[in-house]
Amino acid sequence: MSKQRLRFFEKSVGQRHITDADKYLYKAPESTYKLVIIGTGTIGQEHMYVATLLGRASIHGIYDSQKESMDVAEHNFSNYSDQSLMRYSDLVSACNDPEADALMICTPNHTHFEILNVAMQSGKPIFLEKPMATDLSDADAIVKANDNYASFIQIGLQYRYKAQYVEAFHEAQTRTSIGAIKTISMSEHRPPFLDKVGQWNKFNKNSGGTLVEKCCHYFDLINQMAGAMPVRVYASGGQAVNFLDFDKDGAPADIDDHAFVVIDYANGVRANFTLNMFCHDFTEDMIVCGDKGRLVTQEVFNIHQQQPSTATVALELGEWGASKQTDVTYAREIEQSGHHGATYYEHIAFVDQLDGKASQSATPVQGLWSMIVASAAQYSMKTEQAVDVKAFMHDNNLSKYLR
């Protein structure tokens, strides 16, 4: 069993007289594994920091096709670690360094499939950021490849580790506090997509589309909460505000900035998802209604007032039992390490898998199902028709996943 970390005292000026020989509660865990980060942009650097904060694995090396990205990542890394980094000149070298134990692919969406094919030749455990691919055929190929892979591939759907969703799943599925689940409603209101190298995230061909790129997180959560196969998807949305005057090399941005999605599941559960990407701050909500109560989660991140994020979980049972509302959070240093602490616990799951332990991390099949819903929703927006999921999967050669 891992001992408790007292990070506040560990880093306190008044505790600097404690030498390494006397450190027990202040002693960082031994780093067991060496990681290589492929793609050193925003999320790649977040993984570098979180891995170092956790301490169970160290960052051994980095690779990015953009030299400036590696320069910035290495400089930022030096602010919290005195470890030297290997810098690889090409992808093959990065994937096949014999000293590296695992690979983390954090590159733009449209590069995932090609880079993964190279990475899998190493036989090493692989972490692949979400979405696993930009189209369903590549996602299907990844699932097939993983079935025959000697090691494992973990998909970066880390929202399942956000504090409010961890608690919500515990209430709804472990304690069954609200009885049989009937409806699920989720929403995200947030500012536009941030700037990226080459502005790849402003174009559907590079991102897979907004509902694949961003909302696969929420469809993963909804699929888990519903506990059944989606059978029908209807969506309405488009590009109303963001990047209407933006173009890159003469190509206008075509990324959607709002959507409403309705999903019917085989067990009778009905769900909806709302997206708005021209808001001033970040807010997420999930409302789950059962036959005995309602569960409400909310996360608010006020970037303009530069306040820490807040998250709450409310259980409303009426006459069925005790209702409650709880503020939920992780330890402040973890909460501020990336995605409100979710990435930290995602790393725990990844290292647990390296240790051979069971993990609740996202599998390629789960990643595929999040993409199936997202892709069906995008197709529905395009055709302005409801999508029958079985027919949609048949048309995309995915019928083998029907259950």
Give yes or no: residues 301 and 256 share one domain.
Answer: yes
CATH number for 135: 3.40.50.720
The verdict on residue 346 lying in a domain is no
355 within some domain: no
Please report the pLDDT score of residue 125 as a whole number.
Answer: 98
Check whether 103 has a pLDDT greater than 60. Answer: yes
Same-domain pairing of 304 and 183: yes
pLDDT band with cut points at 50, 70 and 90 for residue 3:
low
Q: Is the pLDDT of residue 58 over 60?
A: yes
d(CA 143, CA 403): 16
pLDDT digits (tens, 9 = 90+) for 28-37: 888 899 999 9
Does a structural domain hold residue 116?
yes
C-beta of residue 37 within 8 angstroms of C-beta of residue 106: yes
- Whether residues 123 and 166 fall in one domain: no
- Residue 2's pLDDT is 61
Regarding whether 167 and 147 lie in a shared domain, the answer is: no
Pair 135, 253 in one domain:
no
Give the phi and the psi of residue 294 in degrees, each rounded to 5: -130, 140
pLDDT grade for 288, boundaries at 50, 70 and 90:
very high
Residue 187 belongs to a domain = yes
Mean pLDDT of all residues in the chain?
Answer: 96
**H helix or E strand, kind and range, residue 387:** strand 387-388
| Domain final residue, candidates 94, 125, 158 | 158
* 96: number of Cβ within 10 Å: 17
Q: Are residues 255 and 271 in the same domain?
A: yes
Please tell me the distance from the alpha carbon of residue 5 to that of residue 7, in angstroms, as a whole number. 6
Q: What is the dihedral of CA 385, 374, 169, 400, to 10 degrees?
A: 90
Cβ pair 132, 155 in contact under 8 A:
yes
Q: What is the tens place of the pLDDT at every residue in 144-201?
A: 999 999 999 999 999 999 999 999 999 999 999 999 999 999 999 999 999 999 999 9
For residues 85 and 187, membership in a common domain is answered with: no
Q: Are both 113 and 167 inside the same structural domain?
A: no
Q: Which of 158, 191, 213 is the C-terminal boundary of a domain?
A: 158
Same-domain status, 133 and 57: yes
Q: Is residue 8 over pLDDT 90?
A: no
Which CATH number is 380's domain given? 3.30.360.10
Cis peptide before 131 (omega within 30 of 0): yes
- Parent domain of 149: 7-158
- Residue 151 is which amino acid? S
How many of the other CB atoms lie within 10 Å of CB of 163?
24
Average pLDDT over residues 368-384: 98
> What 3-state class would DSSP assign to 302?
coil
Is 315 a member of any domain?
Answer: yes
Q: Reduced to 3 states, what is the DSSP secondary structure of residue 40?
A: coil
CB 312 within 8 A of CB 298: yes
In a domain? residue 345? no
Q: Domain for residue 241, yes or no? A: yes
Task: Please give the tally of structural domains in the chain.
Answer: 2
Domain termination site, one of 139, 158, 177: 158
Say whether both 154 and 202 belong to one domain.
no
Tokens of 44: 């790649």
Q: Residue 270: CA atoms inside 13 Å, Cβ hemisphere, count?
A: 2
Query: In this structure, are 165 and 288 located in the same domain?
Result: yes
In a domain, 317, yes or no: yes
Regarding whether 387 and 308 lie in a shared domain, the answer is yes
> 135: left (phi > 0), else alpha (psi -120 to 50), else beta?
beta
Query: pLDDT for 345-366, tens place per residue?
Result: 999 999 999 999 999 999 999 9
